[in-house]
Amino acid sequence: MNAMPKKIAPNQIAGILAETFKEKAEITCYVGSNAATPTASLEALTNAIKLRSLKLPYFKMVHLLLQGPVPYVEKGLQDRIMTYSIFSAGDVRQAANEGRAYYLPCTLANLDSLIGKGRQFEPDVALLKVCQNEYTGEFSLGLSVEALHTAIDHAKVVIAELDPTMPFTQGQSVVDAQSIDYLIEEGVQPVYDFAAPDFDNLSAEEIRIGELITDHFIDHGITLQVGLGKIPDAVVGTIRDAHYKDLGVQTELYGDGLMLLEKEGIVTNRKKKANLGYSTTSLIMGSKELYDFVHMRAGVQMRPSAYTNSAETIQKNAPFISVNTAIGVDMLGNVWADFIDPRRYYSGVGGQPDFIRALHNRIYGTPIIAFKSLTNKGESKITKMHPPGVSLTTSAYDGVVIVTEWGVADLREMTIGEKALAIASIAHPNFRDDFLRYVYDDPLFTKPIGFTLDKTPRGVIPYDGSVKLDG
């Protein structure tokens, strides 16, 4: 391996791989993800596959969420290249639902074991993005670390796009030049950025959910993990307004909301037991302002997702509050987030199960699943039974707290009957009475002695704030 990577153009990728792997019929390629998707490389490789001018092996493309176009999922290429997507959206989601891509379920904590030495998806090739420190010459993985160190360590060929628009992040994002075989500078597209959330104009439902979580579970000095989306944004907004102090951050994905709390001086990381003094994350995605904020910032450091999502690290930073969302929950406390129904794949499990299971004991903190009680079509997200055939990101035996705009249902240390009553109690009023009667009348759900429908079930905190809703 050369001391410094060799510079190539995107249209040289296919030739290099054809020559390197001329004795192999099939190879695995691990692709960097999210805001740092190496689009130029993916487009060049797909163009070469379409031309059929080179004898190329069959490609198995393994990755998390990819931003921008993913041309190789188009119809007619699956005999030469196939996606194994761990988390999906857009074209990849559609391809998976149409049988042109594989959904590969895996939590972020387990990514390294999926692609490690001797495993089914050990990579032959790693395609990724880097940026370079103009003073030291060091390379950084920038916005996407996740499992890239493992991919780089095991891949025979490492191809990196050098992207000057990507921030140079601190921590375990630094990659030595000797680990990169080929460097691409021409035709590289900028990192993907997105408009920042409007934390001052949340919906009434979102504000209610944020208030419930903040008032009952957030305290000075806790460590926080929140995902991206309207509900986590609401939690961030209400935390900001409540002026808590010395919060810490350990998360799989760092976005504009966590930056806001850090800028406000609410996140200081001074109370963390692991990684004292800085926020830890494996991915960063959001606005241009966010990318400018994390550039060269020692207070936000990257770690592999096997570390940020490990139970050991999470538990060390107790008290820990994890806030994620889901597509639905049933009366047993089963939660699903990667499928809408058995015929419609949506995204992936991400790191939700990692944080939920790490926080199985109250001494470590609280795993929260929060969502608005209704879909955009007015259907209840709380159902009597989960859709048969969907995978579950949280099972009935996982102790979680469910939050809707109508209240909190703390399901920890509850019987099935108690869980069902608690969950039914925070459903939308259009469905609540029917759900409660269903639970009350069904002998499967053994009720507490003396319980009547006019009582608030154990573990339930109804919303009692000032934000009014119809219903």
What size, in residues, is the chain?
471
Helix (H, G, I), strand (E, B) or coil at 233: helix
Residue 139 DSSP symbol: E
- Rounded (5°) CA angle 273-274-280: 130
The phi, psi pair for 405, rounded to 5°, reads -65, -10
- Tokens in use for 87? 């988390």
Rg (CA), the chain: 23
**Positions marked catalytic:** 252
* Beta pairing class for 283-284 and 339-341: unpaired
How far apart CA 372 and CA 400 sit, in angstroms, is: 17
Residues 6+ apart with CB under 8 A from 157: 16, 17, 20, 124, 125, 126, 181, 182
- Cis preceding-peptide flag for 387 (omega within 30 of 0): no
- Rounded (5°) CA angle 292-179-83: 75
Residues 6+ apart with CB under 8 A from 318: 223, 273, 363, 364, 365
- Tokens in use for 456? 């608030």
How far apart CA 255 and CA 226 sit, in angstroms, is: 9
- Tokens in use for 224? 């926080």
Nearest to 68 by CA among 102, 32, 117: 32
Strand ranges inside 190-334, DSSP E: 223-226, 248-249, 253-254, 279-281, 283-284, 300-302, 320-324, 328-330
Residues 6+ apart with CB under 8 A from 375: 381
Amino acid, res. 19: E
